[in-house]
Homo-oligomer: A and B are copies of this chain.
């Protein structure tokens, strides 16, 4: 087991990220440009995320369905803004079954067009509304500079698509799902987020309003964690979705869509990781507890093995995901491996511990060591996993506070932002000309804020109409 140090997380965050995800088995390079292999450890993390999100999607009244991977290219062109947004990234099938296709097919970059085509077939009366559908799918957007989980040609996501009789109801849906996402980030990923509307130039192609939730990574860059869109009725017009309302009149429904993707794994890595490797939030970690028996050479270690499995069994009965590492590597190599992989709690169990009737419990966040007597072991572990979640959330929140600044004039805070990054809370006149000036500093508006504390726009001398969050981003 090679124990080469990871790159310095403070000095070379990008390289640290790259190496930690491969070494910890979250992802692997594939021979297909821009696509990654997700090995079992990474996939188990994704399955845990998926199960929790899926449960909330179902409990809020949505039903899963599945739509074709390939979409006729002509569909994409039906909504003008939509095609303009996605055309440069399309992956196109031109040949199939040994022949050239008369009409090329694109691999879905998102499924609005296909799903709205079906909505037109499924919706005819107010009785068919609301229609609340979700799809778990792989989608594809060609990436020139791929980075695992953050920007990949193929990625996994859920895409919710709903239709409502009124705009008010559609807007409520958009906010409901945004709220579910924020709760998930807070309560399961231990990641604090900022929410708000995207600016006109940053919103989803074809949407009227895009809500986003953004998190700050340790290097001071923002990551868009997911979005929830109030689509304009233009999609309903483009796909001719109509329903007879209660008064017998034909009307166009109001549509929404919302998504989170495998990118959330990138956020987990970049918010919580440290110099030793991953630090996984306990509620989604594939392995929550690893038990390492410390064997004595040339001795009978049977009692240690038995006790390790007895403790594991007790944890399993409380639905804790636990693993006993019985491989024949040294304890030190095992500690290194499970720290790299970010397992929240490590339990050490040797001859002396056995005699003293306790186990040594070491947490991954602060490396605190505690002797825990066997009688109290399970209750202790259950509680400590909960505590760790809170510790991780608070630590992340503290970091955001130190990296969130107010800025007045771009010429003043721009160079600082360019160098040290962070969130910049500034005033904005709302003009895209000023927004474009941020590019000079590799920054963008992340979301509009509900406050208007700043009197003047960051980019010009006009008054500010809204505060806006500015940052460099992934």
Which residue of the partner chain B has the closest CB to A144? B97
Residue A433 at the chain B interface, CB threshold 8 Å: no
Residues from chain B with Cβ under 8 Å of A305 in the complex: none
Given A64-B43, A138-B138, decide whether A92 and B91 contact each other with a Cβ distance below 8 A. no
Q: Mark A64-103, 1 if CB is under 8 A from B, else 0.
A: 1111111110010000000000011111111111100000
Q: Is the CB of B94 within 8 A of A65?
A: no
Residue A303 at the chain B interface, CB threshold 8 Å: no
State how many angstroms separate the Cβ of A68 from the closest Cβ of chain B: 4
Q: Is the CB of B65 within 8 A of A32?
A: no
Residue A248 at the chain B interface, CB threshold 8 Å: no
> Among B30, B64, B97, B138, which residue has its beta carbon within 8 angstroms of that of A47?
B64
Q: Is the CB of B88 within 8 A of A66?
A: no
Residue A63 at the chain B interface, CB threshold 8 Å: yes
Q: Is the CB of A89 within 8 A of B97?
A: yes
Given A37-B118, A121-B28, decide whether A154 and B68 contact each other with a Cβ distance below 8 A. yes
Residues from chain B with Cβ under 8 Å of A154 in the complex: 68-70
Could you say which of A39, A46, A63, A68 has the most chain B C-beta atoms within 10 Å of its C-beta?
Answer: A68
Q: Is the CB of B105 within 8 A of A32?
A: yes
Residues from chain B with Cβ under 8 Å of A71 in the complex: 32
Q: Mark A138-181, 1 if CB is under 8 A from B, else 0.
A: 10101010000000011010000000000000000000000000
* A142 vs B99: C-alpha distance when bound (angstroms): 10
Q: Is the CB of B142 within 8 A of A67?
A: no
Within the oligomer, what is the number of copies of this chain?
A: 2
Could you say which of A70, A75, A104 has the most chain B C-beta atoms within 10 Å of its C-beta?
Answer: A70
* A72 vs B90: C-alpha distance when bound (angstroms): 18
Given A63-B40, A133-B40, decide whether A68 and B117 contact each other with a Cβ distance below 8 A. no
Complex interface residues of chain A between 306 and 361 (CB less than 8 A to chain B) = none
* A104 vs B92: C-alpha distance when bound (angstroms): 11
State how many angstroms separate the Cβ of A354 from the closest Cβ of chain B: 28
Given A31-B117, A37-B66, decide whether A92 and B90 contact each other with a Cβ distance below 8 A. no
Q: Is the CB of B30 within 8 A of A67?
A: yes
* A90 vs B97: C-alpha distance when bound (angstroms): 5
* A40 vs B44: C-alpha distance when bound (angstroms): 25
> Among B37, B75, B117, B121, which residue has its beta carbon within 8 angstroms of that of A67?
B37
Residue A36 at the chain B interface, CB threshold 8 Å: yes
Given A90-B96, A142-B96, decide whether A118 and B70 contact each other with a Cβ distance below 8 A. no
Q: Is the CB of B91 within 8 A of A93?
A: yes
* A400 vs B17: C-alpha distance when bound (angstroms): 58
> Among B44, B47, B87, B93, which residue has its beta carbon within 8 angstroms of that of A93?
B93
Q: What would 23 A/B residue contacts be, using CB atoms closer than 8 Å?
A: A28-B118, A30-B67, A30-B114, A31-B114, A32-B72, A35-B68, A37-B66, A37-B118, A39-B122, A40-B64, A40-B65, A44-B63, A47-B64, A68-B154, A89-B97, A90-B96, A90-B98, A91-B93, A92-B93, A93-B93, A93-B94, A94-B94, A95-B104
Extra 6 A-B pairs, beta carbons < 8 Å, given A35-B70, A69-B107, A69-B138: A32-B70, A32-B72, A42-B65, A88-B97, A92-B95, A97-B142
- Among all A-B residue pairs, the 7 with the closest Cβ atoms: A97-B142, A40-B63, A35-B68, A38-B66, A92-B95, A32-B68, A91-B96
